[in-house]
Amino acid sequence: MLSKKIRTLLVFSCIAAIFAAVGYWNISPERFLDQPAAKVEENIDWYATNTHTLQYLPDGKLQYEMTSDKVDHVKATDITLVTKPDLNMFRGTEFPWHVQSERAEVNPGGTEVELIDSVRITRTDEKNRTTLITTSRMTVFPQREYAQTEQPVRIDGAGGVSTGTGMKAYLKESRIHLLSKVRGQYEAR
């Protein structure tokens, strides 16, 4: 058996060796804490202000006309950020769908547009009847002339008001499906 003096000396030697190792390798307790994730910079490679865009169909008819306060293009993701988009989707007809929101995100290729905050879509038909759709967020697929949302929706038009949660809108056929919690209020004529 080792004497008490030798045991004490061994314990202190081990502690001194640990401190020497920590000092030698400069190990600090902060190294073992969670490090914050590296911040990914959204580098804007181009931008435009007060934009006005026209897109034509192959037959020469106007497909859409869009204005916005500002457009930013994010280089890393190829996503386009639009501030205050104001879009008229003519689809080659005289009666466009008028789409507005506070901001939008357009995917690479422009096949999908996410409208964000105060989304407002209106249309006046050939009989001078106006339809107004409002929601907080909506995804529009311009080439397919289709829009959808999972958010609460309000539709004003046709002599009444309809509300629901979730919507599928087939813009070409002017057909709208509310998906759940549907309520309607209509005036009798």
pLDDT tens track for 117-156? 999 988 887 788 888 899 999 998 877 888 899 999 998 8
* Residue 138 burial (10 A CB sphere; 0-12, 13-18, 19+): buried
Is residue 37 domain-resident? no
- Domain hosting residue 177, numbered range: 44-186
| 33 found inside a domain | no
Dump the DSSP string for 88-155: EE-TTSSS-EEEE-SEEEE-TTSS-EEEEEEEEEEEE-TTS-EEEEEEEEEEEEGGGTEEEEEEEEEE
Is 3 part of a structural domain of the chain? no
Which CATH number do you get for residue 58? 2.60.450.10
Q: What's the domain count of the chain?
A: 1
pLDDT tens-digit map of 83-123: 999 988 876 677 788 889 999 998 888 788 899 999 998 88
Does residue 132 sit within a domain? yes
Q: Is there a contact between 184 and 162 (Cβ–Cβ < 8 Å)?
A: yes
Does residue 32 fall inside a structural domain? no
Domain assignment present for residue 10? The answer is: no
Q: Is residue 177 part of a domain?
A: yes
